[in-house]
């Protein structure tokens, strides 16, 4: 049995998993991320790999991280939450691990996990969207990850959908993630509570009248109970998801659009309005096949499983 290790290196923690060829996670572990010290990050990652491989012959290690990765999968060009600038992470880790290492963007790795072992395992073309603090993404075309000329393709959350719209953390205005993310959902919900509208009474009660204490799961729970305001907030978010996805489909023509991230836990409360908006905005609607929507199934393990699968395929090719 071939086993590989997937690591997900974030700004606060390094998660890791020992993964078999069927995408099953056999063991897990974690370390704190010494985010400002590249040498210490590599040492912590190596220590976790050592723990996970203690009783197994590991063929390779895949590393998922939030940042721009060069097309060769060797260098982290930029990571917003880590002290990595043109960081030769592949070489650094291989020098201490003595097994092949691949580096991949975390959203790409999660996309690959869902493509190989999740709802997209039977298709060749898919778009994966992670709806969380922002909108992350990964694209698979003809069974291959779309990386682009320099390895930084599929930053879907920064597609502009509203010219001169809300300012995004990237510096531009009107990015998709400012309207279709968990952060957007919370912004709209808190604004509604602040307005003092009776329509927001249940939302206000859920956070004790303190909008900053409101959580996404509170909105979903209220919507499931039939609260009109909470349902409308999720429907508005779903509309933004669907409209943006229609623009993506006009370029990429995927067979399947997979939604992951915390917001996707709203299920049909999000999917139904997303599908409806997608159909309304789809180029050539009524005269072409339509992409299906599905929910991701691997949860927080998607990046680890995808990175491990990419590592396994790298050593097997």
The CATH code of the domain at 124-296 is 3.30.420.40
Residue 84 makes CB contacts below 8 A (sequence gap 6+) with 38, 41, 65, 67, 76, 78
Residue 317: the pLDDT is 54
- 130/113 Cα distance (integer angstroms): 13
* CB of 58 closer than 8 Å to CB of 3: yes
- Which homologous superfamily is 3-113+300-316 in? ATPase, nucleotide binding domain (3.30.420.40)
Residue 53: the pLDDT is 92
What would the pLDDT profile of 123-167 be if each residue is shown by its tens digit?
999 999 999 999 998 999 999 999 999 989 999 999 999 999 999
* Phi, psi for residue 36 in degrees, rounded to 5: -100, 10
Token output for 87:
């960081």
* CB of 4 closer than 8 Å to CB of 22: no
All CATH 3.30.420.40 domain ranges in the chain, comma separated: 3-113+300-316, 124-296
- 53/219 Cα distance (integer angstroms): 42
> CA distances (Å), 18 to each of 83, 100, 112, 242, 306, in order?
26, 15, 16, 35, 12
HEC profile for 185-228? Answer: HHHHHHHHHHCCCHHHHHHHHHCCCCHHHCCHHHHHHHHHCCCH
Regions of the chain where pLDDT drops below 70:
316-317
Question: pTM higher than 0.85 for the full model?
Answer: yes
């Amino acid at each position: 049995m071939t086993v590989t290790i997937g690591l997900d290196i974030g700004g606060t923690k390094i998660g890791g998993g020992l993964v078999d060829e069927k995408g099953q996670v056999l063991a897990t572990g974690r370390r704190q991320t010494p985010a400002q010290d590249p040498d210490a990050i590599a040492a912590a990652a190596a220590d976790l790999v050592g723990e996970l491989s203690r009783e197994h012959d590991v063929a390779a290690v895949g590393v998922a991280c939030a940042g721009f990765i060069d097309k060769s999968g060797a260098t982290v060009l930029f990571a917003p939450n880590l002290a990595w600038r043109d960081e030769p992470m592949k070489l650094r880790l291989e020098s201490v691990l003595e097994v092949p290492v691949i580096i991949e963007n975390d959203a790409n790795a999660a996309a690959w996990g869902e493509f190989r072992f999740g709802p997209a395992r039977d298709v060749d073309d898919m778009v994966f969207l992670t709806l969380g603090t922002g909108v992350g993404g990964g694209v698979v075309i003809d069974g291959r990850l779309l990386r682009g000329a320099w390895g930084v393709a599929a930053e879907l959350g920064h597609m502009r959908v509203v010219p001169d719209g809300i300012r995004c953390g990237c510096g531009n205005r009107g990015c998709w993630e400012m309207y279709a993310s968990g952060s957007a959902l919370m912004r709209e919900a808190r604004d509604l509570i602040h307005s003092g509208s009776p329509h927001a009474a249940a939302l206000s009660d859920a956070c004790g009248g303190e909008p900053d204490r409101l959580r996404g799961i509170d909105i979903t729970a209220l919507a499931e109970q039939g609260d009109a305001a909470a349902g409308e907030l999720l429907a508005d978010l779903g509309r933004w998801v669907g409209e943006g996805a229609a623009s993506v489909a006009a370029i990429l023509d995927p067979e399947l659009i997979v939604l992951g991230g915390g917001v996707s836990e709203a299920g049909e409360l999000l999917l139904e309005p997303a599908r409806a908006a997608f159909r309304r905005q789809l180029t050539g609607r009524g005269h072409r096949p339509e992409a299906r929507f599905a929910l991701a199934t691997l949860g927080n393990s998607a990046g680890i499983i995808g990175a491990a699968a990419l590592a396994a395929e790298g050593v097997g090719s």
